[in-house]
């Protein structure tokens, strides 16, 4: 995957400061996979989702895609240290992320669907219903696999 400087600037504009909040700072402290923070993971998913959508002309709204991808793991806890929730993190965290995001931001239906369905098919009834949600669901699996199995670091771009 290779995004140019112009595309990285576009992504920053579309994020509109989402990546500079105190919650984003918290996400830098939580480990997602291997040695990757939740923040680095969601940034990788944002970039890969943007890349797939643009390079393959998939036609999803870039603004919703980028915002939904950034917020898809907005659950705001360390799942390795979270008792019951930690054990069932895979199942529960999309709903928690959606609730946290809704409390702080006005979300479109597409952005909500991106967040709640990104673990599909594990969450059987939370199905991606639009292109943007399918793209993030796929990008999340690619980034997670890369971080866990291959490099223990974020996907390069
Ligand atoms: Fe997730
Ligand atoms: Fe994720």
Quote the ligand 2 centre to 93 CA distance (angstroms).
10
Residue 10 has pLDDT above 90, yes or no: yes
Quote the ligand 1 centre to 69 CA distance (angstroms).
10
pLDDT, one tens digit per residue, over 20-41 is 999 999 999 998 887 899 999 9
Residue-range domain boundaries for the chain: 5-150
Residue 70 has pLDDT above 90, yes or no: yes
In the prediction, which pLDDT does 82 show?
Answer: 67
Quote the ligand 2 centre to 137 CA distance (angstroms).
8
Quote the ligand 2 centre to 142 CA distance (angstroms).
10
Contacts (Cβ under 8 Å, ≥6 apart) of 58 = 52, 131, 135
pLDDT category at 155 given cuts 50, 70, 90 is low
In the prediction, which pLDDT does 140 show?
Answer: 98
DSSP string, 34-81: TTEEHHHHHHHHHHHHHHHHHHTT----HHHHHHHHHHTTTT-S-GGG
**What are the CA-CA distances from residue 97 to residues 70, 109, 149 (Å)?**
11, 15, 25
| Protein fold of 5-150 | Hypothetical protein af1432 (1.10.3210)
Q: What percent of the chain has pLDDT over 90?
A: 80
Residue 84 has pLDDT above 70, yes or no: no
């Amino acid at each position: 995957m290779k995004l140019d400087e112009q595309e990285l600037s576009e992504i920053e504009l579309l994020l509109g400061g989402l990546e500079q909040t105190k919650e984003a700072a918290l996400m830098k402290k939580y480990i997602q996979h291997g040695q990757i923070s939740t923040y680095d993971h969601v940034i990788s998913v944002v970039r890969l989702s943007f890349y797939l959508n643009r390079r393959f002309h998939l036609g999803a709204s870039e603004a919703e895609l980028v915002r939904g991808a950034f917020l898809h793991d907005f659950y705001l806890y360390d799942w390795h240290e979270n008792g019951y929730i930690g054990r069932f993190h895979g199942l529960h965290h999309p709903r928690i992320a959606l609730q946290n995001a809704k409390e702080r931001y006005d979300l479109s239906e597409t952005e909500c669907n991106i967040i709640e369905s990104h673990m599909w098919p594990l969450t059987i009834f939370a199905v991606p219903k639009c292109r943007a949600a399918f793209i993030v669901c796929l990008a999340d699996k690619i980034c997670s696999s890369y971080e866990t199995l291959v490099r223990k670091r974020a996907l390069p771009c």
